[in-house]
Structure 1
Amino acid sequence: MVYGVILVGVVCFDFDGTLVDSYTCLPDVYRKLCQAVGLSSSQADVAVAELMELEDLKEVEEDYRRELWWGRYFSDRWGLELSSAELSRLHLMWFEWRTQLTTVVDCALDVLLRLKEAGFKVYIVCGSDVIPGVKRRRVEASGLLAATDGLYVAHEDFDGCVVDKAIELASAHGAVPYVVDDKPRRVSKAVDRGARAILVRFTGPLKRVWCEPYPPEVTVVDRLCDVLDVVLGSGV
């Protein structure tokens, strides 16, 4: 018998695109932003398409400093000179709109609860929204946090990458974590670090980041609820 360490399974979930769909709403969120800066309806039609393309490119670069690239975009494209204070306010409003329009994946709560009932430690480990506290508020608004053993936000609750934090959490229980994410890049890193990786297919308005390759060791599921079959069927 091993004393001091209780061996349990650990599953770490991403948030955006995995437990919730916070991407499909982005065109509507950007339309609200365009209205807030005073663009006409026809101008907003153009701007939304261009901002979504920019969002897609920046997602690949993992550059979420929207206040910087929004400022350049609205100045260069529409001649709008927005102050730092205005851009900060707009960024907060953008996240408020996104939170309101985000939908929780139908089976998300059931998946979390059933894993916990089966004895797994369940965490949400995700990237930051740049503005301190915003990601935590968004997770709390989803109603999913209470069904987990904790939330860890990069650059707020820990330094380093999400996958390394998942491994750290699992190591405390003598386990190798399951890392569940919608982005090939993240699950590829999980495989590289020796974790178990589950990719939940997601189709949203941003295309580039979800088209990246991933290694054959990644388990791919079409629906979040299929994660239960993978994890509970593993016997680990």
Structure 2
Amino acid sequence: MSALKDILAEAKIISFDFDGTLVDSYTYMKDVIELMLLHMGTPPNMLQLVSEPAYQEWLELEKANAMNYANFALLLIEAARRNGLVLPSPPPDFNALLLEARIQATRPYPCAVQLLKILKAEGKIIVSVSGDDGIPGFKEKRIEASGLARFFNKVIVIPSGLLSRIEALLEIAKEYGVEPSDVLHIDDRREVVLQIMQAGFNAILVRSGMYAEARSIHEVPEVDSLCSILEVLSGNRFSEKF
């Protein structure tokens, strides 16, 4: 853990991914899917039949970093169609309800708040760099609703196909007048962490959520949870339920 402690101590800017890193926005997605299916008119007796394949398709898209929530209604309609159910077009309030459902189904991981507090107290510049949800404003509203936005000096939500995480981190480094080696990014996706390290930044992988069992990459520093990082900083042990 001494190497991890050095990385944290030397970082002037610490960047966090949002979904799957600071917050659990995946565990309750089955509930979100079922709620939205009911809202679109799925008969309760067919809910499980439709929600299970819809959930599996959503999961595969998320794992591939290809989920666009602008197409969420279409995902549900197609899952229903494949099981012999024709759903109508989504109602006008579909996206508003989807946003509220995702907000309610998102929980900060154990130690997230405590970790951000201690980093802030140490004078670190804390930023959030993450991809968008495919619907303008969704991610920003979810970050605000999470209660974590108050810790960030800057929030960057990257529209799909435009700015990359590396480009965003380079802009942040330039804005604050530091070198890439002074920037630490924390993420739950191994391929993202590796790319960021190869670009000259420091990075830490948090093994959480749907990527916890993915193959390790030798070059990538890994921790089991945010609590592990907090323990390095504070010298105290914390429960995963903390």
Q: TM-score, normalised by structure 1?
A: 0.82
CA RMSD in angstroms comes to: 2.6
Q: 1:172-187 alignment to 2 at 5 Å?
A: 172=175, 173-175=177-179, 176=181, 177-187=183-193
Task: Please identify, of 143-152 and 94-103, the stretch whose mean Cα deviation from structure 2 is larger.
Answer: 94-103
Alignment of 1:1-236 (within 5 A): 9-59=12-62, 60-64=64-68, 65-83=71-89, 86=90, 89-155=93-159, 159-172=162-175, 173-175=177-179, 176=181, 177-203=183-209, 207=210, 211-213=213-215, 215-228=217-230
Contact 1:163 1:186 in 2 (8 A): no
Secondary structure of the equivalent of 1:225? helix
Per-residue CA shift, 1:55-109, capped at 9, x if unaligned? 11211151313234333333343432432xx266434322211101211123212
Change (3 A) 1:106 1:80: same
Q: Is the 8 A contact 1:109 1:144 kept in 2?
A: yes
Q: Is the 2:132–2:157 Cα contact (8 Å) retained in structure 1?
A: yes
- Counterpart code for 2:72: R
- Identity among equivalent pairs (%): 28
For residues 115 and 137 of structure 2, the distance between their equivalents in structure 1, rounded to whole angstroms, comes to 25
Question: C-alpha distance in 2, partners of 1:75/1:87?
Answer: 17
CA contact (8 A) 2:38 2:47 kept: yes
Q: Which runs of 5+ in 2 are unaligned?
A: 1-9, 236-242
Deviation track 1:88-133 (CA, whole Å, cap 9, x = no partner) reads 6434322211101211123212211211221211001111011111
- Paired with 1:189 and 1:174, the residues of 2 have a C-alpha distance of 19
Letter in 2 for 1:188: L
**1:101 & 1:170 partners in 2: Cα distance?**
33
Render the CA deviation track for 1:124-152: whole Å, top value 9, x for unaligned. Answer: 11110111111111100011111111111
Matched residues in 1 for 2:22 and 2:204: separation?
13
1:8, distance to aligned residue in structure 2 (A): 6.5
Change (3 A) 1:67 1:162: farther
Kindly indicate whether the alpha-carbon contact (under 8 Å) linking 2:50 and 2:79 is maintained by their aligned counterparts in 1. no
Question: For residue 218 of structure 2, what is the amino acid of its counterpart?
Answer: P
Alignment-mate amino acid for residue 46 of structure 1: L
Aligned residue-pair number: 220
Greater alpha carbon shift after TM alignment, 166-175 vs 193-202: 166-175
Measure, in 1, the Cα distance between the counterparts of 2:138 and 2:191.
Answer: 23
